[in-house]
Structure 1
Amino acid sequence: MMQKIRHTSVAPTRTQRLASGGEIDAHRHDDHQIAYASKGAIAVTTDAGSWVAPATRAIWIPAGTVHRHQAHGELDLHLVGLPATDNPLGLDKPAVLAVSPLLRELIVAYTHDPDNDSPPHLRLRAVMLDQLTISPEQPLHLPVPTDPLLRELHDVLCGDPADNRSLDDLGRQIGASARTLSRRLRDDLGLTYPQWRTQVRLHHALLLLADDVPVTAVAHRCGWSSASTFINVFRRAFGHTPGTRPTA
């Protein structure tokens, strides 16, 4: 559980820079918030898991959610606060959203001058909200299991995403059979072990890429047999190759 939780009634709208590894500590606010990194990757962590977003994605944080931010790579962070009554996608849990080139520019422009109440700025906000309503949710959530055995397995995999041992071997380490672990994974997370391990690996791959680790090294450190295999898995998950970056 997170400690020393700050409560900020109004979710701020602003642009700020964070060094790689920089954090915004655990807090909550009464508004919704969108966190978008136009440079680097932002990770948002709650008790339910972690959401990570490179510069083609944004993270939706519902009102009241206790969360913290962490920067991976040099981060240009854009935060958009929205009243609890403004929920374009009707989401009540954190989610990662696709960011189109247009939405990217709208967020960057809107957070550049957050205190501007001029009619053009308000129209910009309205278009931004319209674009959010058509932003599909993306599978970039790494859930944290509630089951104690699965939490042990989670710690092993996150400690070394390249660990290629079978579920039988991992089960012997933590004192459970592969059948038991498989059943609990289905009950707790709705995933098979290979599906969950792939999510762990993709999550870590995004963070390494944000720190400019070469694609081949990322593939090796996250357990893929070759860079080409990693690229294919990454493309299927995210719709683009690992080296793709948005235009400035």
Structure 2
Amino acid sequence: MPVSRHIPVAPTVLRRLAAGAGIDAHRHDDHQIVYAARGVVSVATGQGRWIAPANRAIWVPAGAVHEHRVHGRTDLHLVGLPVTANPLGLAGPAVLEVGPLLRELIIEYTRDPGGDPAERARLLAVLLDRLRYSPRQPVHLPTPRDPRLAAVCALLHADPADGRTLPELGARTGASERTLSRLFRAELHMTFPQWRTQLRLHHALILLAEGVPVTAVAHRCGWASASAFIDAFRRTFGHTPGAGR
């Protein structure tokens, strides 16, 4: 991560951002909820990247250096929370499920940050209560450290549709399949197929936010068919790519 700014108080605000806009690396003394009611938002830290469509939000813990990037025209809702307000006890960034009620609470809480304090306190209390029932989602793309593993991951970042096997990628980067398999589990805490699926889903969300048709997204991200992509997407995000739009 580049040199970051220190913004002690995490803002509570709605920001309407153009496609491709972002917020450079910074950190807060507060926790923060990052939610895109429209568009897709990603948050990057030194540990990896988290991405969320409109039925997910990203939890950023106090002190974490992070940067935001949006894909497609995005209504970005940011909710700052004191360090004492951590209903799920999360120590690191996480993607959380956002149901209809939590969605409306976040939107309303960020609509008028300077509103009546008593009303806002009531809203916040309900919002925190709903967060308590928001399960974490496995939508995380961890960053590799070992240069051999990083080289393999870079090849797939450049072309998510690259269908080469792990032995073939290892031959290209000078590492054995056994070594790479061990590194995927030790550093990224997932298997190679699991990491590649996460990568493809991340790229798919970005392409969908940019208006690319579902069939083209499936092809560009490496799925054998549109139906296979739709099935993988539904299992991860709870809805089809078309419904997400």
**TM-score w.r.t. length of structure 1:** 0.96
Residue aligning to 1:74: 73
How far apart are 1:119 and its partner, in Å?
A: 2.1
Q: Which moved more, 1:187-196 or 1:3-12?
A: 187-196
Residue aligning to 1:181: 180
Q: For 1:189 and 1:70, locate their aligned partners in 2 and report how far apart those are by CA, in whole Å.
A: 22
Tell me the percent identity.
63
Aligned ranges 1:1-248 → 2 under 5 Å? 2-245=1-244
> Helix, strand or coil for the counterpart of 2:27?
strand
Aligned AA (1:71)? V
> Helix, strand or coil for the counterpart of 1:134?
coil
Q: For 2:148 and 2:244, locate their aligned partners in 1 and report how far apart those are by CA, in whole Å.
A: 38
Q: How many residues align?
A: 245
Q: Which moved more, 1:120-129 or 1:13-22?
A: 120-129
Q: For 2:25 and 2:99, locate their aligned partners in 1 and report how far apart those are by CA, in whole Å.
A: 29
Q: For 1:193 and 1:104, locate their aligned partners in 2 and report how far apart those are by CA, in whole Å.
A: 34
Q: For 1:129 and 1:190, locate their aligned partners in 2 and report how far apart those are by CA, in whole Å.
A: 30
Runs (4+) of structure 1 moved beyond 3 Å? none
1:110-148: per-residue Cα shift (whole Å, max 9, x none)? 001112243222211111111111001011110111221
How far apart are 1:242 and its partner, in Å?
A: 1.1
Q: For 2:126 and 2:151, locate their aligned partners in 1 and report how far apart those are by CA, in whole Å.
A: 45
How far apart are 1:3 and its partner, in Å?
A: 2.0
> Helix, strand or coil for the counterpart of 1:181?
helix
Aligned AA (1:170)? L
Structure 1: gaps spanning 5 or more residues = none
Structure 2: gaps spanning 5 or more residues = none
Q: For 1:170 and 1:118, locate their aligned partners in 2 and report how far apart those are by CA, in whole Å.
A: 57
1:155-192: per-residue Cα shift (whole Å, max 9, x none)? 11111000001111111110011121111112212222
Q: For 1:46 and 1:186, locate their aligned partners in 2 and report how far apart those are by CA, in whole Å.
A: 20
> Helix, strand or coil for the counterpart of 1:243?
helix
Q: For 1:212 and 1:133, locate their aligned partners in 2 and report how far apart those are by CA, in whole Å.
A: 34
Q: For 1:118 and 1:10, locate their aligned partners in 2 and report how far apart those are by CA, in whole Å.
A: 17
Q: For 1:4 and 1:180, locate their aligned partners in 2 and report how far apart those are by CA, in whole Å.
A: 33
Aligned AA (1:33)? Q
> Helix, strand or coil for the counterpart of 1:231?
helix
Q: For 2:205 and 2:160, locate their aligned partners in 1 and report how far apart those are by CA, in whole Å.
A: 12
Q: For 1:208 and 1:75, locate their aligned partners in 2 and report how far apart those are by CA, in whole Å.
A: 14
Aligned AA (1:101)? P
> Helix, strand or coil for the counterpart of 2:242?
coil
How far apart are 1:47 and its partner, in Å?
A: 0.6
Aligned AA (1:84)? V
Q: For 1:61 and 1:50, locate their aligned partners in 2 and report how far apart those are by CA, in whole Å.
A: 12
Q: Which moved more, 1:41-50 or 1:170-179?
A: 170-179
Q: For 1:63 and 1:42, locate their aligned partners in 2 and report how far apart those are by CA, in whole Å.
A: 19
How far apart are 1:235 and its partner, in Å?
A: 1.2
